[in-house]
Copies of this chain bind each other. A is one copy, B any other.
Amino acid sequence: MLEAFFTPQSVAVIGAARAPGKLGYGVLSNILQYGYSGKVYPINPKADEVLGLKSYPTVLDVPGPVDMVVIVIPNRFVPQVMEQCGQKGVKAAIIISAGFREAGMEGIKLERQVLDTAKKYKIRVVGPNCLGIISPYTPLNASFAAGMPPKGGIAFMSQSGALCTAILDWALSEGIGFSHFVSLGNKADVDEVDLLQAWQEDENARVIIVYMEGLKDGQRFIRVARQVTQHKPVIAVKSGNTAAGSRAVSSHTGTLAGSERAYEAAFKQTGVLRADSIEHLFDYSLAFAYQPPLKGINIAIVTNAGGPGIMATDALESSGLKLAALQPETIERLRQGLPAAANVYNPIDVIGDALTDRYAHALKAALDDKNVDGVIVILTPQVYTQIEKTAEVIGRLAANTEKPVLGCFMGQQRVGPGIKILSQYSIPNYSFPERAVGAFKAMAEFWDTRQRSAPQYVQFQVDQQTVRQLFDRVRDEGRLTLGDAESREIMEAYGLRIPRSVLAKTADEAVAAAESIGYPVVMKIASPDILHKSDIGGVRLNIRDADQVRDSFDLLVYRAQRYMADARIWGVLVQEMVSRGKEIIIGVNRDPQFGPLLMFGLGGIYVEVLKDVTFRIAPLSRREASEMMNEIRSYHLLRGVRGEKPADLEAIIDTILRVSQLVTDFPEIVEMDINPLTVHEEGRGAVAVDMRFVLKEKESEQE
């Protein structure tokens, strides 16, 4: 689909320059210098020849077909050049030039113009305002970057071009290899999701890593990323997390950064691993790119030093991995091959004077143990330590196993040559134990993601028709909020249990209603103009007989009129008084990038004071709904403490999933809350006691 960017047969550089130091020179010279074997055409109306190649005034003058162009000319000329590209039948355009969306109103117009032309001719565009693309396997360096990384298993994309330069500079000196290296720039057309899709089946890309500041279409990201992570790991650094960070994003690229909560939820739901820094991004990706997959959480540590062994152990435990419990035969084998002072339990300490033979013995034993899923080999450069020779042996042993082995040769000067040897054997080295553990943790998470079965979406039998008609009616009346009875109608249409309830227009009707429902009852004023009923004394609880019903009816109507003289009063709602239970809140807010963001938590102080809530993006699978419950700190309270019976967890899941279906079916719901959802003991269900809906204005839907 995007092959024309990565393996074009021919490339034209529009704006190819003769003066070294100019970007148009840099791009052309990179294409030529790093061995591209296709046809290359410089385009420059003012030159006959650039860098020894015949130059053409426009792309239309090129004799053969042109698959891809790289555009390096001032912004105002780009639209007309795109038109020419279209006529020429170009499939892919990398626009390096800046001065588009990132540069204000004029630039936004220019970018739209370019994109319209591209769409007309079905040209895919990377950029504008980017560094270019490097495809080491082709090989093709269609960028103005200083250097060309070797081939490797990492497919990299970044919204920040400057970050590309920094990473390339680092990768070059470390010898890190890439399958793809893409600077996305303004993402006028090709974005993260397109590349995820393109790289899903590409065998050279063993791991995909992304630096992103914002996404255009969150739901599409979720759909695609969820598939891709079934095939290969995807690791993302998302910046602009905090409030101040988000401001910087807006001023930088004009992307409207989605709320942090929504991204967090999206990464969880798709299995995209999140790194909290570029350093961790590469720590993880090296393990994925160079080592076989980790298939468990049990790690063995081989070390010649106690201290670092402890540090690794600490890190393992606090990250949720496990120090593998070695089999008795492994322990016996270690005891025979190691001196008495060695520790033959995990972490296996071959002690300070260990030569290569002890490392070999210990590593072999660990790898042969079926309780061990992966091994970290720690080496400190002590007096007798044989650094290179040990690296050789580790490399050979690791090459003959299906289990991942990570190096942790600590130090720099003396251990440097050993680290180089490890890298020849495709073993990444981490300078500190915690970082090696971090890489294994990422691998364990990916393994966990792949173990998951495909998400199961329950589809409940609901009455969409009623809700559709109700929303239309409400919006035709110019309202965005719903009356109580309307909210109840929606809940019922989606099978959500609400208190039994009758709208009474007179005190007599109210008494009849109360008697049919059974005492005690709750009474609430019914008016579309009064949203926060409790605040005006519009709700009365625990009404126990007919006299109290009559008194309450009059009181509620009086208060409503006092609050707002011209309020439309439909009557009084007489409701079943829900017996006590755990109070839950389920809310939905519409995130600009991701759509319906569903919140779950315990009500009252848990949500208000402790902020003990969790989020997912709808639609949710059954497993996701159940994970939400597990994630909150107060989950124990739902499970029952001090001999209480557990709450009806199934009823909670059912409610979450029905709400998920509702807000997915009706994008016009911009906000909704069920607060509280009163949950009774196991098997006794849950009742939505109060709820609130806010709809989108009709006009804004067309955006």
Judged by a CB distance under 8 angstroms, whether A564 is at the interface is no
* Neighbour of A278 across the interface among B161, B211, B311, CB < 8 A: B311
Q: When the two chains form their complex, are residues A144 and B432 in contact, meaning their CB atoms are under 8 A apart?
A: no
Q: When the two chains form their complex, are residues B167 and A435 in contact, meaning their CB atoms are under 8 A apart?
A: no
- Closest approach, in angstroms, between the C-beta of A519 and any C-beta of chain B? 29
Q: When the two chains form their complex, are residues A166 and B380 in contact, meaning their CB atoms are under 8 A apart?
A: yes
Segment among A527-535, A633-641, A645-653 that sits at the interface with chain B: A633-641
Report the bound CA distance from A167 to B305 in whole Å. Answer: 13
Q: When the two chains form their complex, are residues B279 and A431 in contact, meaning their CB atoms are under 8 A apart?
A: yes
Judged by a CB distance under 8 angstroms, whether A610 is at the interface is yes
Q: When the two chains form their complex, are residues A410 and B310 in contact, meaning their CB atoms are under 8 A apart?
A: no
- Closest approach, in angstroms, between the C-beta of A265 and any C-beta of chain B? 18
Q: When the two chains form their complex, are residues A245 and B382 in contact, meaning their CB atoms are under 8 A apart?
A: no
Q: When the two chains form their complex, are residues A352 and B248 in contact, meaning their CB atoms are under 8 A apart?
A: no
- Closest approach, in angstroms, between the C-beta of A306 and any C-beta of chain B? 4
Q: Which of A151-178 contact B (CB under 8 A)?
A: 158-163, 165-170, 172-174
Report the bound CA distance from A352 to B130 in whole Å. Answer: 11
Report the bound CA distance from A434 to B283 in whole Å. Answer: 15
Report the bound CA distance from A311 to B435 in whole Å. Answer: 20
Q: When the two chains form their complex, are residues A242 and B314 in contact, meaning their CB atoms are under 8 A apart?
A: yes
**In the complex, which residue of chain B has the Cβ closest to the Cβ of A314?**
B245
Q: When the two chains form their complex, are residues A304 and B169 in contact, meaning their CB atoms are under 8 A apart?
A: no
Segment among A47-55, A413-421, A439-447, A465-473 that sits at the interface with chain B: A413-421
Q: When the two chains form their complex, are residues A165 and B382 in contact, meaning their CB atoms are under 8 A apart?
A: yes
Task: Name the B residues within 8 Å of A278 (CB-CB).
Answer: 311, 432
Q: When the two chains form their complex, are residues A380 and B251 in contact, meaning their CB atoms are under 8 A apart?
A: no
Q: When the two chains form their complex, are residues A252 and B636 in contact, meaning their CB atoms are under 8 A apart?
A: no
Judged by a CB distance under 8 angstroms, whether A458 is at the interface is no
Q: When the two chains form their complex, are residues B146 and A381 in contact, meaning their CB atoms are under 8 A apart?
A: yes
- Closest approach, in angstroms, between the C-beta of A341 and any C-beta of chain B? 7
Report the bound CA distance from A310 to B323 in whole Å. Answer: 37
Judged by a CB distance under 8 angstroms, whether A253 is at the interface is yes
Task: Name the B residues within 8 Å of A341 (CB-CB).
Answer: 103
Q: When the two chains form their complex, are residues A434 and B279 in contact, meaning their CB atoms are under 8 A apart?
A: yes
Report the bound CA distance from A252 to B349 in whole Å. Answer: 9
Report the bound CA distance from A349 to B249 in whole Å. Answer: 12
Q: When the two chains form their complex, are residues B146 and A314 in contact, meaning their CB atoms are under 8 A apart?
A: no
* Neighbour of A432 across the interface among B173, B213, B279, B304, CB < 8 A: B279
Q: Take A162-B305, A173-B416 as given contacts and tell me if A277 and B242 are in contact as well, using a CB distance cutoff of 8 Å.
A: no
- Closest approach, in angstroms, between the C-beta of A106 and any C-beta of chain B? 12
- Closest approach, in angstroms, between the C-beta of A380 and any C-beta of chain B? 4
- Closest approach, in angstroms, between the C-beta of A181 and any C-beta of chain B? 14
Judged by a CB distance under 8 angstroms, whether A313 is at the interface is yes
Task: Name the B residues within 8 Å of A308 (CB-CB).
Answer: 160, 162-163, 166
Judged by a CB distance under 8 angstroms, whether A243 is at the interface is yes
Q: When the two chains form their complex, are residues B304 and A162 in contact, meaning their CB atoms are under 8 A apart?
A: yes
Judged by a CB distance under 8 angstroms, whether A23 is at the interface is yes
Judged by a CB distance under 8 angstroms, whether A267 is at the interface is no
Interface magnitude class on chain A: 35 or more
Report the bound CA distance from A276 to B434 in whole Å. Answer: 9
Q: When the two chains form their complex, are residues A310 and B239 in contact, meaning their CB atoms are under 8 A apart?
A: yes
Q: When the two chains form their complex, are residues A23 and B251 in contact, meaning their CB atoms are under 8 A apart?
A: no
Q: Take A169-B415, A634-B610 as given contacts and tell me if A245 and B162 are in contact as well, using a CB distance cutoff of 8 Å.
A: no
The proximity string for A residues 407-436 relative to B, scoring 1 for CB distances below 8 Å and 0 otherwise, is 000111111100000000000000110110
Q: Take A147-B413, A169-B411, A608-B641 as given contacts and tell me if A243 and B306 are in contact as well, using a CB distance cutoff of 8 Å.
A: no
Judged by a CB distance under 8 angstroms, whether A233 is at the interface is no
Task: Name the B residues within 8 Å of A431 (CB-CB).
Answer: 170, 279
Q: Take A103-B341, A213-B307, A411-B165 as given contacts and tell me if A146 and B432 are in contact as well, using a CB distance cutoff of 8 Å.
A: no
Task: Name the B residues within 8 Å of A343 (CB-CB).
Answer: 251-252
Task: Name the B residues within 8 Å of A411 (CB-CB).
Answer: 165-170
Judged by a CB distance under 8 angstroms, whether A347 is at the interface is yes
Task: Name the B residues within 8 Å of A240 (CB-CB).
Answer: 310, 314
**In the complex, which residue of chain B has the Cβ closest to the Cβ of A249?**
B310
Task: Name the B residues within 8 Å of A173 (CB-CB).
Answer: 412-413, 416
Task: Name the B residues within 8 Å of A158 (CB-CB).
Answer: 307
Report the bound CA distance from A68 to B349 in whole Å. Answer: 33
Judged by a CB distance under 8 angstroms, whether A317 is at the interface is yes
Report the bound CA distance from A434 to B237 in whole Å. Answer: 12
**In the complex, which residue of chain B has the Cβ closest to the Cβ of A408?**
B166
Task: Name the B residues within 8 Å of A633 (CB-CB).
Answer: 609-610
Q: Take A309-B248, A314-B242 as given contacts and tell me if A166 and B381 are in contact as well, using a CB distance cutoff of 8 Å.
A: yes
The proximity string for A residues 333-361 relative to B, scoring 1 for CB distances below 8 Å and 0 otherwise, is 00000000101010101001000000000
The proximity string for A residues 579-614 relative to B, scoring 1 for CB distances below 8 Å and 0 otherwise, is 000000000000000000000000001001110000
Report the bound CA distance from A345 to B431 in whole Å. Answer: 37
The proximity string for A residues 248-261 relative to B, scoring 1 for CB distances below 8 Å and 0 otherwise, is 11011100000000
The 7 closest A-B pairs by CB, nearest first: A160-B307, A162-B305, A169-B411, A166-B410, A242-B317, A252-B306, A245-B314
Residues in A lying within 8 Å of B, measured CB to CB: 21, 23, 26, 103, 144, 146-147, 158-163, 165-170, 172-174, 211, 213, 237, 239-245, 248-249, 251-253, 276-279, 304-311, 313-318, 323, 341, 343, 345, 347, 349, 352, 380-384, 410-416, 431-432, 434-435, 605, 608-610, 633-634, 636-637, 641
Given contacts A162-B382, A165-B411, A166-B308, 5 further A-B contacts (CB under 8 A): A169-B415, A239-B311, A279-B432, A605-B641, A609-B637
- The contact sample of 25 A-B pairs, CB cut-off 8 A, is A146-B383, A159-B307, A161-B382, A162-B306, A163-B380, A165-B382, A166-B410, A169-B412, A169-B413, A169-B414, A170-B431, A173-B416, A239-B311, A242-B313, A242-B314, A242-B318, A243-B317, A244-B314, A248-B306, A248-B309, A252-B309, A277-B315, A277-B432, A279-B432, A609-B637
